[in-house]
Structure 1
């Protein structure tokens, strides 16, 4: 844009600031809205569903923010477009009719925002409709009740369609709603956690927290507290317990660790914190209202500094910059507006403790490293960035880049993760925080399914252990060790590799921004500037304005060579041009070897300055933890 987007200049301190931010995202949509208001077309890229459903998505997703704004007394002149759209989009005889839903139809997803909006802002979004419009809208939403739905978080969308109709006194199906809720409750694992599906599904990502399930539970508990008092109490208790785990996914700057699918929903990653406030949950210590407020507002502040806007003020598909490589086949140009869920606190009055309590920083009383059994994650904020070690999660259907979104060894709030740009050579594979294997030197296989994943305790430290099989005759068993207090910038991977075929290996660290201060590719390391790359021998390192990333080979007997891979542009979701320190190995048939990798990383400070003392920390690596020495020695 010729001038900065208002969202990018917002201080995100007060309720008024949040109202202004919400309005600044809604207003640019007017130029893309159909004459009848029912369709918002923001681009031309396709999805697995039809264009009408995609334009309905463009209409419905902003409602998550608009309805909260209106419910809290805010105003938006362009809001009349959505009232008109509810009339014209549900008129079977009209030119902008959205169409009746079918089995597993994207229209069902978008019904959730409409149902929620009717429930919290009926005066502004239901009452102005004509009687014909109300009848049509009720019939269109109600058509979801006899259709087949995926056995996932989608069931919540039908719950909200019915809940919205119930709140405005329109025909609905309490029987269908109860059956869906009963089934959704079977997903529950305990300790606040629910995966995105029934037993056997191993997805505990942001859909389980902020995007859908836990967010929906909290909103439902508030809206159905009189009609469903048992779930009102249960869902609030789940939210309180889950918050104690979920807080570890955020860092002190406000960033959430990118992990899993639908990263283009951006600050919806933090929407759970606003839903806690909406539901008036009794917060567990140390998560008072000032802390919860800070978690949401700092996240929004961080997003306000990213390149998340087109020149016309709308949001593109991508993460911190426009990016199609990272997408799923259900991401339409309107999909990013799922982020509007983060504005739910706008429905609360200024007197609510979320708004009246001063913002507080990230609670330092929380442990620096935690092991979370349900998601199979070990999360740490040692070493200047918050990152998780992961084994055991996987998408239950063939999601694009599923291995990269769930199967990497580590995910960082500072360095993000990468996805392949093609299927040829390591530059396109972009295998950061992965062990990539190849039997032809051109195409590489990485871990997708981690077998027998579990958290063990070695010498008092949690360790993630799992195995995987890239080919039937190749098996890798991997142990992931988090940092120790005395070596906060190092973590370790141990692989036992057994192969019956000749293969190559590439063990990558964190991908890091790969341009120098002059804007050109990183040169060889320059001590006077503190930037550049080191490769060869047993270690590889890259240092730039983003910090430092490196890997060091400490394998007991199988020597590897070190290199810095020039990753294809835009493979990483947080940096447009990255490089990847990598350890390369060659293995003959019938080898049984131990590979031990020390991963070193320090992100830059918030002002992009180099972290102090990092070169000494790299040049003086810590001793190998005793438990790793013991395991490798016994294995030999």
Structure 2
């Protein structure tokens, strides 16, 4: 690491210190955190009140608020480290920064928040830090503590806030002051928690908003609601035992659902907004240890420890997520503004520091004393989750969720990709549109697109009404997601999502009944997969069994789409093999339906969260005005992984899944 004037510089093929930490115990995770905090040093302002992370991108709020994010979000990690008795050489930077940032007479004053101000979000890590790291409060004079009270408590208690998880941020602003004997509002704290309780829907799940909104992503678990409920349960247990007990009970219920979102490789399923917070997706598991939860069977602390450490290890393999100076970038596995939200500033990714709540867990806790990272939990291979509207699958080498009915309630970039997709996988991340012209830019991974203008612009599922049903009987009974949606006013679609079955674990079924009041082209996309040859990184060639790599049919560039070699029948399907294999085949001919064609869509670069160059096996067709058709799409996915030979990637491709009898009957009766 370079000195403080130059900071860390990652040159050609450089490896971040984050990747070099051998994770095994609490001390190693402390070291991992320090590799995140150290590169921030050159970007502190003279009085330390602001951190201007590399990157000049603008957000929907002002530059000062962006730089307040820069100092406050890493405070999640520092506060957890200090709460657990750890040390950091730069702790005084944050104490000095809080002193200057809350002082109205300082040139680096943060400014009092207005209604719905981003500063309110950053009050949450500051409130938690005050509650658990007394050296921060003790490092301030009486006058400076008054400034903190005025900025952290008085100002936020008088302002309007979004009717979402944000209300928890005001709770923690008051709680931090309460813990240090400062001026706070118990009335406001109680009112906010009582209102937040109206977001609770059952089975351990809270919605990120009031009645009428269906949005249950990582904000419902690791990013905000469950995470902060558990921190509150820990900190308020003596004063409010009943409230703490309720929050713990919800966590116990949710844990048996949330375990399905993390796979044996350490990956979590990217779903919804703000996944640029990266390893914050695993924060829930550290928080249940912090709150002294009694784990529900079959979970053990060794399993929970394994979930957390494997997750960190997977992120250690993502070498492109750093700026050259060693700070986190906006993006996922690499810098990517296409997937960013309008509130993601250069300092925003440090919400990832929530994952270090495990450092506040005492070293005597079984989370740390478990000598082994126990084997993956014995959990159902397929499980329906009524509250989020998901069917979870742990078959075929990856964790996958099928989803219907969720939608963001306000304008969001790529919202149809983040919530309206049919399937989300831990092995094959979702894609977002880098442009709005032709399929290559729409990048319809796990989505059905419809176009009424010859293929220039495409509509996909965003808003839908959905139901989680059980179809079949006895041993053949299975959960099915059914959704109704209308991409155009005169085009009605009923979609069925069927999870994998043990006989064909690498396939799931996606069925659409479409009634068209106009001519529409359709494009049904499989998962996106890396479009790079192992040999030299160039685009994939026609499939070569000897190398176990390539596509079928031939992958053609964006300018040669009419080339006959680029197309196959829908029954033959299309597949791509690189990091595992993905593909799609049309089964409707077996039920007397239409005939579609298959091809590979060469998605625009940087559309996918994990792979910067991807291709998407896709089925296409044109429906004429007045027609009603059934599509039965079988989607194949077999990820690469330890113990999975390359030559086995297509082993299941010819073993097609069965179309259930109930579905055949329903199609016949329509």
TM over 0.5: yes
1:548 corresponding residue in structure 2: 581
Q: In terms of mean alpha carbon deviation, does 439-448 or 511-520 score higher?
A: 511-520
* Cα displacement (A) at 1:633: 2.0
Of 348-357 and 432-441, more deviation after overlay is shown by 348-357
CA distance 1:417–1:59, shift in 2 (3 Å): same
Deviation digits for residues 555-583 of structure 1 (CA, Å, limit 9, x no counterpart): 13210000000000000001000000000
2:593 to 550, 553, 557: 557
How much has 1:4 moved relative to structure 2?
2.2
1:72 shift after superposition: 1.5
Residue 503 (structure 1) aligned to one of 520, 531, 549: 520
Q: Which residue in 2 is equivalent to 1:20?
A: 31
Query: Alpha carbons of 1:510 and 1:362: their partners in 2 closer, same or farther (altered >3 Å)?
Result: farther
* CA–CA distance in structure 1, aligned partners of residues 294 and 583 of structure 2: 43
Offset of residue 362 of structure 1? 4.5
Secondary structure of 1:599's match? strand
- C-alpha separation between the residues in 2 aligned to 1:200 and 1:293? 36
Q: How many aligned residue pairs are there?
A: 633
Identify the residue that residue 474 of structure 1 maps to in structure 2.
491
SS across alignment from 1:414? coil
CA displacement, residues 521-559 of structure 1 (integer Å, 9 cap, x when unaligned): 111111111111112122443333311010001113210
User: How much has 1:297 moved relative to structure 2?
Assistant: 0.8
State the shift of 1:612 in Å: 4.9
Deviation at 1:312, TM superposition (A): 1.2
Q: CA deviation at 1:11?
A: 2.1
Deviation at 1:262, TM superposition (A): 0.1
Inter-partner Cα distance in structure 2 for 1:471 and 1:434: 16
Find the counterpart in structure 2 of residue 430 from structure 1. 443
1:194 to 206, 218, 221: 206
Match of 1:448 in 2: 462
> Is the 1:531–1:542 contact (alpha carbons within 8 Å) kept by the matching residues of 2?
no
Alignment counterpart, residue 259 of structure 2, candidates 217, 232, 247: 247
SS at match of 1:454: strand
Q: Which residue of 1 aligns with 2:80?
A: 68
Select the residue among 392, 403, 418 that pairs with 2:405: 392
Output the CA distance in 2 between the equivalents of 1:622 and 1:392: 25
Distance (whole Å) between structure 1 residues aligned to residue 71 and residue 469 of structure 2: 44
Q: Distance in 1 between matches of 2:505 and 2:646?
A: 13
Query: Counterparts of 1:435 and 1:55 in 2: how far apart (Å)?
Result: 40
Higher mean displacement: 139-148 or 611-620: 611-620
1:279-314 CA deviation, whole Å, 9 max, x = no partner?
A: 001111111111111111110010111022122111
Q: Does 1:94 align with 2:67?
A: no
The 1-side partners of 2:223 and 2:651 are apart by 42
Structure 2 counterpart of 1:139: 150
| Cα pair 1:409 1:433 within 8 Å, conserved | yes
- Contact 1:271/1:342 (<8 A) preserved: yes
What does residue 350 of structure 1 align with?
363
Return the offset for 1:456. 3.2
Mapped partners of 1:561, 1:392: distance in 2: 29
Retained in 2: the 8 A contact 1:295–1:362? no
| CA distances 1:469-518 after superposition (whole Å, capped 9, x unpaired) | 01110001000011111010111111000011011000000010011112
Distance (Å, rounded) in 2 between the aligned partners of 1:371 and 1:446: 24
Indicate if the aligned counterparts of 1:265 and 1:338 stay in contact, CA closer than 8 A: yes
| Structure 1 position 229, deviation (Å) | 1.3
Uncovered stretches (5+) of structure 1, i.e. residues with no partner: none
CA contact (8 A) 1:456 1:465 kept: no
- The answer for the alignment partner of 2:376 in structure 1 is 363
Structure 1 stretch displaced more, 623-632 or 591-600: 623-632
Cα separation, 1, equivalents of 2:513 and 2:614: 29
SS of residue in 2 equivalent to 1:19: helix
Instruction: Work out whether residues 373 and 455 of structure 1, in 8 Å CA contact, stay in contact via their aligned partners in 2.
Output: no
Match of 2:546 in 1: 528
TM-score scaled by structure 1?
Answer: 0.98
Q: CA deviation at 1:201?
A: 1.2
* Alignment match, 1:285: 297
From 593, 615, 626, give the equivalent of 2:661. 626
User: How many angstroms apart in 2 are the aligned matches of 1:426 and 1:89?
Assistant: 48
Give the Cα–Cα distance (whole angstroms) in 1 for the partners of residues 306 and 506 of structure 2: 26
Q: In structure 1, which of residues 524, 534, 537 is the aligned counterpart of residue 569 of structure 2?
A: 537
Q: Distance in 1 between matches of 2:274 and 2:150?
A: 30
Q: Does 1:8 align with 2:25?
A: no
Match for 1:463 among 480, 487, 500? 480
Aligned to 1:80: 92
CA distance in 1, matches of 2:489, 2:375: 46
Distance in structure 2 (CA, Å) of the matches to 1:478 and 1:588: 19
CA contact (8 A) 2:466 2:481 kept: no
**Shift of residue 622 of structure 1?**
3.3
Deviation at 1:610, TM superposition (A): 4.4
**Match among 52, 57, 60 for residue 64 of structure 2:** 52
Contact 1:421 1:429 in 2 (8 A): yes
Q: CA RMSD in A?
A: 1.2
Shift in CA distance, 116/282, structure 1 to aligned 2, threshold 3 Å:
same
TM-score, normalization: structure 2?
0.93
